[in-house]
């Protein structure tokens, strides 16, 4: 009986084995094979932030490069780098020996012309007195004397003007400060040959007025119309962290420069001279309340070495749209480009998503 049961069990196992060989078991059954679907969202338009952060640089309120008016030698230098000067103070004395002879020559010509004018005037006066007796002086001689007197007076006036001009040029040999300030550069010493210079030439002295500074900020073209001029800007300098300041925008250029941005200036008092021209700072420029921008999720932006773009869905196909980035927060980024509110874009687009590819 025992052997009979073993035989039956063996036959049943063999039968089951043959049955399974005819129909193998699919171990993947029940696991649906589905393709990954791309997640999409839409471009929104709303006010993102009340201000924009931009870098700023301090510049002196007044600055001048001082050159010599005429070719001359430095005779005396009264200031050095760091000297604090007042308006009208004598900074340097130049000498030009040829100027003395030019002044003497101009004065001599003026005296000569003045004597000729006096003689013509006296001659005309005498002829006019003599003309009172009938037939003593002809009318033609009197007219000629009058013309000669006027011509000599004109020459005298011209020579006087020339002499005054030469004296004015000679006065330029004394270099004086045009405004209160500090000498920040001294590029010459006594005995140096100096002369009129161009903007690219090295000046004798550089004078800056640093009691008040200009904080210059370049506003990108996309924000120019959104700046709120009625609200103060706040700024912090890198050299003085933690010290926040506030002031109103003082002036703007009202024109875009080579970098497609508009320069604005903020006057910064500097009586204690703690701030220095050239310092950099971070400036928060207020934007107009309610100014709206196009926003896209941060994970919808693709950045490569060649371009920054998002992938739009148009007519069921992927279309690359180049963008420029603006304000960025934790979730969204302000963008500028060929987009409008309501456009459908792809989230987390990968490199495998090609332009023109169909999107389900």
Using one digit for the tens of pLDDT, what is the confidence trace for 184-203? Answer: 999 998 888 888 877 678 89
What is the separation, in whole angstroms, between the first and last Cα of the chain? 68
- Say if residue 7's pLDDT is above 60: no
Q: What average pLDDT does range 93-111 have in this prediction?
A: 83
- What mean pLDDT do residues 318-331 have? 84
What integer pLDDT is reported at residue 23 of this predicted model? 44
The mean pLDDT value for 104-112 works out to 86
Q: Tell me the average pLDDT across 278-285.
A: 91
Tell me the pLDDT of the chain averaged across its residues.
82
Q: What is the pLDDT of residue 290?
A: 63
pLDDT(216) > 90? yes
Structure tokens at 242: 């933690």
Q: Which residue has the higher pLDDT, 34 or 67?
A: 67
Q: What's the pLDDT at 265?
A: 93
Can you tell me the mean pLDDT for 54-62? 93
Checking if the pLDDT of 61 tops 80, the result is yes
User: CA 341, CA 338: separation in Å to the nearest integer?
Assistant: 11
Residues in CB range of 162: below 8 A, 6 or more apart: 106, 109, 110
Q: Which residue has the higher pLDDT, 172 or 10?
A: 172
When pLDDT is cut at 50, 70 and 90, the band that residue 36 belongs to is low
- What DSSP state is assigned to residue 80? -
Is the predicted pLDDT of residue 234 greater than 50, yes or no? Answer: yes
- Residue 17 pLDDT more than 60? no
CB burial of residue 207 (10 Å; 0-12, 13-18, 19+): buried
pLDDT: is 259 or 61 the higher one?
Answer: 61
- 201 φ, ψ (degrees, to nearest 5): -80, 160
The fraction of the chain above a pLDDT of 90, given in percent, is 28
Q: What average pLDDT does range 331-335 have in this prediction?
A: 85
| Residue 11 predicted with pLDDT over 80 | no
DSSP character at residue 48: -
In this predicted structure, what is the pLDDT of residue 169? 78
| More confident site: 76 or 31 | 76
Query: 260, 224 in Cβ contact below 8 A?
Result: no
Two tokens at 268?
Answer: 């910064």
Stretch 43-72: mean pLDDT: 86
Residue 57 pLDDT > 50: yes
Q: pTM of the predicted model, to two decimals? A: 0.58
Can you list the alpha helix ranges (DSSP code H) found in the chain?
Answer: 2-22, 97-130, 139-171
Pairwise CA distance, residues 340 & 42, whole Å: 10
Higher pLDDT, 138 or 237: 237
């Amino acid at each position: 009986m025992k052997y009979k049961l073993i035989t039956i069990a063996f036959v049943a196992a063999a039968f089951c084995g043959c049955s399974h060989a005819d129909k193998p078991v699919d171990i993947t059954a029940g696991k649906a094979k589905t393709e990954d679907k791309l997640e999409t969202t839409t471009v929104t338009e709303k006010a993102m932030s009340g201000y924009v952060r931009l870098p700023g640089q301090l510049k002196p309120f007044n600055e001048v490069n001082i050159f010599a008016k005429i070719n001359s030698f430095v005779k005396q230098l009264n200031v050095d780098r760091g000297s604090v000067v007042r308006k009208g103070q004598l900074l340097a004395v130049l000498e030009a020996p040829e100027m003395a002879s030019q002044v003497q020559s101009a004065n001599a010509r003026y005296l000569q012309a003045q004597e000729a004018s006096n003689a013509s005037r006296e001659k005309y006066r005498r002829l006019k007195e003599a003309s009172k007796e009938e037939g003593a002086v002809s009318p033609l001689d009197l007219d000629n004397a009058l013309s000669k007197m006027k011509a000599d007076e004109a020459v005298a006036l011209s020579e006087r003007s020339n002499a005054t001009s030469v004296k004015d040029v000679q006065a330029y040999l004394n270099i004086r400060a045009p405004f209160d300030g500090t000498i920040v550069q001294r590029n010459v010493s006594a005995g140096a040959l100096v002369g009129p210079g161009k903007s690219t030439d090295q000046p004798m002295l550089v004078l800056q007025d640093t009691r008040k500074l200009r904080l210059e900020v370049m506003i990108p073209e996309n924000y120019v119309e959104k700046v709120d001029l009625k609200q103060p800007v706040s700024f912090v300098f890198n050299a003085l962290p933690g010290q926040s300041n506030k002031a109103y925008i003082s002036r703007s250029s009202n024109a875009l420069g080579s970098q497609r941005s508009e320069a604005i200036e903020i006057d910064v008092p500097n009586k204690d001279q703690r701030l220095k021209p050239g310092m950099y700072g971070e400036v928060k420029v207020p934007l107009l309340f309610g100014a709206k921008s196009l926003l896209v999720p941060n994970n919808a932006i693709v950045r490569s070495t060649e371009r920054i773009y998002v992938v739009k869905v148009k007519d069921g196909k992927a279309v690359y749209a180049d963008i420029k980035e603006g304000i960025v927060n934790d979730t969204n980024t302000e963008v500028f480009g060929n987009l409008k509110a309501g456009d459908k874009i792809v989230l987390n687009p990968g490199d495998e998503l090609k332009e023109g590819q169909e999107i389900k």
